[in-house]
Structure 1
Amino acid sequence: MPAVIALRRAVRRRTRERMGVPALPAAQVELLRAVQDEPGIGVAGAARRLHLAENSVSTLVRTAIADGHLRRTPDPADRRAARLELTDAAHERLRRWRAMRAGVVDAALARLDPADHDALAAAVPALTRLLDAVEEIDPHDQEGGRP
């Protein structure tokens, strides 16, 4: 599936070019998306979701706060814990990213002929099943891991 990986990279590169702002590290984007999906998530919850160590997520959080993308608020149920929320700037950046990415893909699709559109539409169910299969893999299963 090298073409899928290359496509993802190309779309990301073209989107970054259109955005005209410095790219965020992938881990930072994953953190912002986790907080967007689950507003109020804590550092420990984000670490579990991202499969990262808590101290790594804490570092990402400090950077995102300094960059104006996250705010940390005390958890009303446990004042020792903090809850994470996206700032308006982060919401806008993620919204712009999605719109720009959709524009890149739409522009590319417009250049393809109808047969290519049909082939892509026919591939979607298999790609969806592949995604489901990847999500079902036990992260602790060592078979099929990295080289």
Structure 2
Amino acid sequence: MDADTFPEQLADALVRIQRLIRRRLRGGLTAPRLRGAEVELLRLVESRPGIGVSDAARRLHLAGNSVSTLVNQLVRDGYLVRETDPADRRAARLLLTGAAEQRLADWQRRRAELVGRHVSRLGEADREALRAALPALRRLAVMLHEEAEET
């Protein structure tokens, strides 16, 4: 693999894997499909219960009004609860509903099953290469996130 094309090939592979996972997980859904940004917001609220809208917008690298629109949609659909922040009555805190917790748990289970099923079909050398690449991929994600935080 040419060192000049490696970054492009890596980015293409990661995007393709993510796209294929998303497509496969859409199949068999009984509930209306959530868009990527909605899932990202729900996962953020899951990891940071009580997060505010402006902090969520900053962490997701989205405009505040875009996140407000997502919040309104997810509140209307029964996946988020917006509570008044007792420390600042003008601010809202976001919390998942039971329906959102169940939907995220189902999505995570289905994703793990899908990826696990396909990884198990790879040879041992490929599985070990993927396992060995995880720390470097996590560091790359952190660096990309930190760069986004700076801009």
Give the TM-score range, shorter chain.
0.7 to 0.9
Which residue in 2 is equivalent to 1:145?
Answer: none
1:28 matched to 2:38? The reply is yes
Which residue in 2 is equivalent to 1:133?
Answer: 143
Distance 1:138 1:71 in 2: 28
Task: Check whether the contact 1:73–1:84 (CA below 8 A) recurs between aligned residues.
Answer: yes
Spell out, residue by residue over 1:95-140, the C-alpha distance to the aligned partner (whole angstroms, 9 max, x if none): 1100000000111012112122122223223323322332332555
Identify if the C-alpha distance between structure 1 residues 93 and 119 changes in structure 2 by more than 3 Å, giving closer, same or farther.
same
Which residue in 1 is equivalent to 2:56?
Answer: 46
Deviation at 1:91, TM superposition (A): 0.6
Distance 1:138 1:59 in 2: 22
Mean Cα displacement is larger for which, 98-107 or 32-41?
32-41
Mean Cα displacement is larger for which, 16-25 or 111-120?
16-25
Name the % identity: 52
Structure 2, unaligned runs of 5 or more: 1-9
Give the TM-score, by structure 1 length: 0.85
1:100 matched to 2:110? The reply is yes
Deviation at 1:80, TM superposition (A): 2.2
CA RMSD of aligned residues (A): 1.8
Structure 1, unaligned runs of 5 or more: 142-147
Structure 2 matches for 1:1-147, cutoff 5 A? 1=10, 2-137=12-147
Amino acid at match of 1:89: A
Deviation at 1:79, TM superposition (A): 2.1
Which residue in 2 is equivalent to 1:144?
Answer: none
Q: Counterpart of 1:137 in 2: which secondary structure? A: helix
Distance 2:53 2:140 in 1: 30
Distance 1:68 1:138 in 2: 31
Give the TM-score, by structure 2 length: 0.83
